[in-house]
Amino acid sequence: MSAVAPPSPAAPHFAPPLQKLLLQVADAVQGVQAGQSLNALLARCPAELRPGTQALSFHVLRHLGAAQAARKLLAPKAPPAKVDSLLLSALALLWPVAEPAYADHTVVDQAVSAARKRVPASAGFINAVLRRFLREREALVEAARRDPQGAFNHPPWWIDKLKADWPAQWQAILAANNEQPPMSLRVHAGRGTAEAYRERLIQAGLGARLLGELAPQALVLDKPVPVQQLPGFAEGDVSVQDAAAQLAAPLLLNERPGLPPLPAAPRLLDACSAPGGKTAHLLELRPEAEVVALDADAERLARVQDTLQRLQQRATLKAADARDTAAWWDGQAFDAILLDAPCSASGIVRRHPDVRWLRRAADIAQLAQIQAGLLDALWPTLKAGGRLVYATCSVFKAEGQAQVDAFLQRCPDAELIPVDGFTGHLLPLAHNEAQPGGASIVDGFFYALLLKKKA
């Protein structure tokens, strides 16, 4: 999944009438609960309502567990899905937060109006439930938080898995998942430094901080803005990319002790390349490289082409399943491979708050099987003495360290090269730095650098 600019909460005097937004948000919540991604649902939303719908959907999905726990207390028998999704959306907006987007009376009034549009017979029921919630809010919030799903706004299986994987950090990870993420930028390495671009931002009235050694080309904006406001964005001077995702390209390309050097014009494979941020970063760092960008989804591969076109870069794009090497590989071995494998996206939940409600416990084992298949298929396409970076935007160990440990057992010619600060699991609260307001800088990722030993 790509890193996107996080939406800001919708302000009542800038947004369309809340009634219209609530109907769209309720449709989105119902769709997510039925297994549809929020991105796909937003694409069907009327253009004039999309920004407000996205902002409120993000808020509702971050508080959906609490809203569900409260609704069970208020109405133990769930109403029909259309009514329930509207009720849950309103309860999430009424949940106590530091800066509510709307006044309580506005939420109740507009939710009832929306109910009259959606299911007229439900208007009285929704009015009664919401007014009771407001009367008893303190007690109901306290009771809802005794339910783990209500306390942490994640499904119980997800909470249990994090407890098992990260017994000391699981609560901090869950809290980070409910933050509004910062907007991070990657300055084009061939066009200037992060410090120089920061000066351009200041001249444009935008504040940002440098990340230094963590990600030398990275900046974190004080406040998210539309990309059109970023100086030189259309010309390719800068891209939006989380700081954790910016570690992939230098991990693959930089020379390190124990690694044979790459040739002057290395042949590189980005095996699961969409939407293209990491492909572009590889070319920024090694513009002389021959890069093959592969993705199983032809529509998503088109986004890679759009990214490269904006940055005035070239790569060979192929739409194919990386595991089916006969369909795409020409037999010429690669010097280095980046495998950013399909995963649960459990490390980027703050950017995609629907993910926690879309995933099921059984998905993790299925995804791990796909990841193992990709590693096994791609390893023969790598030169002896070459390197492969395995990456996932996941904090679950089954998709990270356990996956690599199993691969090393299967492949005696594979050697793990530890790189301090880069390899292993990066948690959302890593590096002990935080944005103003408490938001952590990096998303959750896993990286492993593997050397293919020569015979």
* DSSP for residue 440: B
Q: What is the pLDDT of residues 306-359, one digit of tens each?
A: 999 999 999 999 999 999 999 999 999 999 999 999 999 999 999 999 999 999
428 burial (CB, 10 Å; 0-12 / 13-18 / 19+) is buried
Bridge-based pairing state of the strands 290-295 and 316-319: parallel
Q: What is the pLDDT of residues 99-142, one digit of tens each?
A: 898 999 999 999 999 999 999 999 999 999 999 999 999 999 99
| Residue 317: φ, ψ to 5° | -100, 135
**How high is the pLDDT of residue 212?**
83
Task: Give the type of residue at 450.
Answer: L
**How high is the pLDDT of residue 263?**
97
- Cα 367-428-307 angle, rounded to 5 deg: 70
Bridge-based pairing state of the strands 382-392 and 316-319: unpaired
Q: Is residue 399 a contact partner of residue 345, using CB atoms and an 8 Å limit? A: no
Q: Which among 121, 130, 246, 260 has a CA at the least distance from the CA of 189? A: 246
Distances in Å between the alpha carbon of 9 and those of 150, 156, 414? 22, 27, 47
The two tokens of residue 204 are 């444009």
Q: Which portions of the chain are predicted below pLDDT 70?
A: 1-15, 430-439
Q: Which long-range contacts (CB under 8 A, 24 or more apart) does 150-154 make?
A: 150/65, 150/66, 150/68, 150/69, 150/70, 151/65, 151/66, 152/65, 153/62, 153/63, 153/64, 153/65, 153/66, 153/177, 153/178, 153/356, 154/65, 154/356
**How high is the pLDDT of residue 439?**
60
The two tokens of residue 309 are 């076109």
How many Å apart are CA 203 and CA 137, to the nearest integer?
Answer: 46
**How high is the pLDDT of residue 440?**
74
How many Å apart are CA 208 and CA 231, to the nearest integer?
Answer: 13
Q: What is the pTM of this model?
A: 0.93
- What does the H/E/C string look like for 200-231? HHHHCCCCEEECHHHCCCEEEECCCCCHHHCC
Distant-in-sequence, close-in-space partners of 403: CB < 8 Å, separation ≥ 6:
368, 371, 372, 375, 390, 392
**How high is the pLDDT of residue 16?**
76
Cβ atoms within 10 A of the Cβ of 186, count?
26
**How high is the pLDDT of residue 432?**
40
How many Å apart are CA 227 and CA 213, to the nearest integer?
Answer: 25
Distant-in-sequence, close-in-space partners of 366: CB < 8 Å, separation ≥ 6:
none
Distant-in-sequence, close-in-space partners of 10: CB < 8 Å, separation ≥ 6:
21, 51, 52, 55, 56, 101
The catalytic residues are 393
**3-state percent helix, strand, coil for the chain, nearest multiple of 5:** 50, 15, 40
**How high is the pLDDT of residue 437?**
44
The two tokens of residue 246 are 């910016």
Cβ atoms within 10 A of the Cβ of 334, count?
22
- Cα 110-127-16 angle, rounded to 5 deg: 5
Q: What is the pLDDT of residues 420-431, one digit of tens each?
A: 989 999 998 744
β-bridge mates for residue 187, sequence order? 238
**Half-sphere exposure at residue 146, Cβ-oriented, CA atoms within 13 angstroms:** 7
Task: Give the type of residue at 46.
Answer: P
